[in-house]
Amino acid sequence: MPDRSSEPIRWGIVGTGTMAGQFAEDLRLSEGAELAAVSSRNADKAKAFAARYGDHVTAHTTHTDLLGDSTVDAIYIATPNDTHFPLACAASESGKGVLVEKPLVTTSAQAVRLATLAAEQGVFLMEAMWTRFLPAIAKARSLIEEGAIGEVTRLRGSLAFYHPFDPESRFYAKEHGGGAMLDLGVYGISLARLLMGEPIEVAGEWRAAPTGVDMSASLTLNFSGDVKAHLSCAFDHEGENCFIIEGSRGTLVLPAPFIAARAVLQCSNGLAAQLAAFPGRSVPSRTIRKLAARLPFPGIRQHAFPYAGHGLGFEIEAASEAMRSGNTHHRLMSPLDSARTLEIVETVLDEANRLT
């Protein structure tokens, strides 16, 4: 990529789906970044997408044309999971920076190969694990490091969104890299590793959809100091979707949905923590959690971090600044870090762990 250290990073988006739209919208809110082009195999979709974001946005009908566009510095890949690897390889070989919607790719072996290629090409590469870049997550990390809740003893996180079974859906199609772990489970694994480091032991189990992909999964990560992270993900129900960090002198709660955290609830006693992380998926349970997150309660200190848009702006600005600085990865989200999360996914989804 040419030296444009004092200018905005000009982004090209591969795809025109939901995540592509959210990324384009948050680009408008981001410093040091702007949308330059989009590509889709459907010409009408590419033109309509480009028109929504200004006359300066170029619509390409092939991804190859986008990669060859000299007005584009970096590529955001927002296509189905199974296309991430070939598209990211092609983007890296084109000399452009690459940000890939999670999961980075579908296997740990692909992640290592892609990381090697990007390093050889000297280009930026990052998985768009946007949750890691949220201010609320940075605050949770600093509270842990400061000892605000004492020694961490346990982590708990669930992420489940109901998707009715459809064999043609990207959520359930094996050939498109479907499954709850790749779509949702990577969030909890990535966050637990960010907070606690590398697990020394991994255990889990999963249930299959009729197409053979995982419809639900649960896992336990054992960290040094006998700290355990109990995580789960699913497509067959709506979950509590909180992330809870328990310590010897308090608890931190990232309210639902934790992947888009706008606050950290610092709970100084057991009752406060029970309210902030009240179990259950019923309307009363969700109402109690919302009230605890929004109203003053004894024993709960609210650290609020509201933001405009969808929350993708923080990763956009971080990736853009890293590229302007000439870095090939970001310290918060390296490609090999993504590979390690995929190794854990593969361990859990071993056929021996499949429930019947």
Check residue 283 and give its pLDDT. 75
CA–CA distance, 32 with 183 (Å, rounded to integer): 29
Domains defined along the chain, listed by start = 9-129 (3.40.50.720), 135-306 (3.30.360.10)
Kindly list the distances between the CA atom of residue 64 and the CA atoms of 24, 41, 89, 193, 281, in Å, as whole numbers in the listed order. Answer: 20, 10, 12, 36, 45
Please name the helix (run of DSSP H) or strand (run of DSSP E) that holds residue 11, with its range, or none.
Answer: strand 9-14
Q: Which residues contact 149 (CB under 8 A, 6 or more apart)?
A: 143, 245, 246, 247, 248, 249, 250, 251, 252, 266
- Residues 72-91 have pLDDT tens digits of 999 999 999 999 999 999 99
Q: Model-level pTM? A: 0.94
Check residue 5 and give its pLDDT. 67
Q: Residue 276's closest CA among 254, 258, 257, 260?
A: 254
The token pair at 284 is 């009363």
Q: What is the mean pLDDT of the chain?
A: 94
- Residues 35-71 have pLDDT tens digits of 999 999 999 999 999 999 999 999 999 999 999 999 9
Quick one: 31 exposed, middle or buried, by C-beta within 10 A (0-12, 13-18, 19+)?
A: exposed
Please name the helix (run of DSSP H) or strand (run of DSSP E) that holds residue 22, with its range, or none.
Answer: helix 18-27
- Residues 7-22 have pLDDT tens digits of 899 999 999 999 999 9
Check residue 290 and give its pLDDT. 76
CA–CA distance, 344 with 269 (Å, rounded to integer): 33
In the three-class reduction of DSSP (H, G, I as helix; E, B as strand; rest coil), residue 301 is classed as: strand
pLDDT greater than 70 at residue 4: no
Higher-pLDDT residue of 196 and 275 is 196
